Amino acid sequence: MSYQSKLNSAATLPTIYNHRSIRKFTEQPLTDEQREAIAQAGRAASSSSFMQCIHIIRVTDTDKRAALSEVAANQKYVRTAAEFWVFCIDYSKHRLACPEAQLDWTEGLIIGAVDAGIMAQNCLLAAESLSLGGVYIGSLRNDVTKVTEILQLPQLTAPLFGLCLGYPAQNPLYRPRMPLTTLVSENTFRQMDKTALAAYDQQLAEYYQQRSGLDLNWSKAVANNFTKPVRPDILPYLHHQGLAKR
Ligand SMILES: Cc1cc2nc3c(=O)[nH]c(=O)nc-3n(C[C@H](O)[C@H](O)[C@H](O)COP(=O)(O)O)c2cc1C
């Protein structure tokens, strides 16, 4: 197939380890071939019970891009990236295949969110292996109802996140992850302890200071995110779309 034979992609592990989110892009568009290769990478992903409950909307309309950027806290790159794709959960085709299917269990939502993440990461990794860059846009969920209007999403669908793609016009610092000792344990769960947390906070404080002079660390970022209601309109929205009702 053309998308497999014509493009030169970098080796997988260096591509994975070099990941940084890209938020500034040149104006150069992607070729049809690059776009197809990235979409085919998403299509090749594993899928829980092979239910394939994801739909990707490529947004090319500039008014829609602007409206989506506004939903996403005016993040400029939603408008300016060469490509903006929205990953949606989609059980509408399952209704078509089976009118009596029970599509409103919370498990269905987990399946969709997991599948979408796996599929999107295949896309981003494919893009990165072609010397492109990108960033996910979760802040689309700031106003899921508005996104639903803009993209005309039917019942049994919901937007999960967006993905900006394009040629990088920046080379950001690597954002240090937690050490493997905190992320992986053997046989039983091992909770992070205070010493490890303090060490990681220190490491991230240095990173934020160096990157942007910010007085921030991981614990403060957690507090910024989770000491207030977290998008409380999501559950009623999902119910309205016919999802996660029970
Ligand atoms: C599902 C998801 C949603 C995200 N949403 C946004 C977003 O709305 N805006 C943004 O600038 N970055 C967003 N990001 C990027 C993260 O901030 C970024 O991956 C993280 O800070 C680590 O940095 P790195 O990707 O450069 O290593 C998102 C990432 C994920 C996985």
What pLDDT sits at residue 5? 54
Contacts of 133 (CB under 8 A, 6+ apart): 20, 21, 22, 25, 127, 165, 166, 167, 168
Cβ proximity of 169 and 193 under 8 Å: no
Residue with tokens 């493997």: 180
What spacing in Å lies between the alpha carbon of 78 and ligand 1's midpoint? Answer: 13
What spacing in Å lies between the alpha carbon of 85 and ligand 1's midpoint? Answer: 15
Instruction: Say how many CA atoms lie within 13 Å of 153 toward its Cβ.
Output: 29
Q: Indicate which atom in ligand 1 lies nearest the CA of residue 20.
A: 26
The residue type of 187 is: N
Q: Indicate which atom in ligand 1 lies nearest the CA of residue 172.
A: 26
Q: Is 3 in the pocket of ligand 1 (CB under 6 A)?
A: no
CATH number of 2-172: 3.40.109.10
Q: Is 78 in the pocket of ligand 1 (CB under 6 A)?
A: no
Q: Is 127 in the pocket of ligand 1 (CB under 6 A)?
A: no
Contacts of 34 (CB under 8 A, 6+ apart): 7, 127, 130, 132
Domain ranges (residues) in the chain: 2-172, 175-231
What spacing in Å lies between the alpha carbon of 63 and ligand 1's midpoint? Answer: 24
Residue 42, phi then psi, degrees to nearest 5: -65, -45
What pLDDT sits at residue 71? 98
What pLDDT sits at residue 58? 98
Tens-of-pLDDT digits for all 246 residues of the chain?
555 657 899 999 999 999 999 999 999 999 999 999 999 999 999 999 999 999 999 999 999 999 999 999 999 999 999 999 999 999 999 999 999 999 999 999 999 999 999 999 999 999 999 999 999 999 999 999 999 999 999 999 999 999 999 999 999 999 999 999 999 999 999 999 999 999 999 999 999 999 999 999 999 999 999 999 999 999 999 999 999 999
pTM, 2 dp: 0.97
Please give the angle made by the CA atoms of 155, 158 and 159, to the nearest 5 degrees: 150
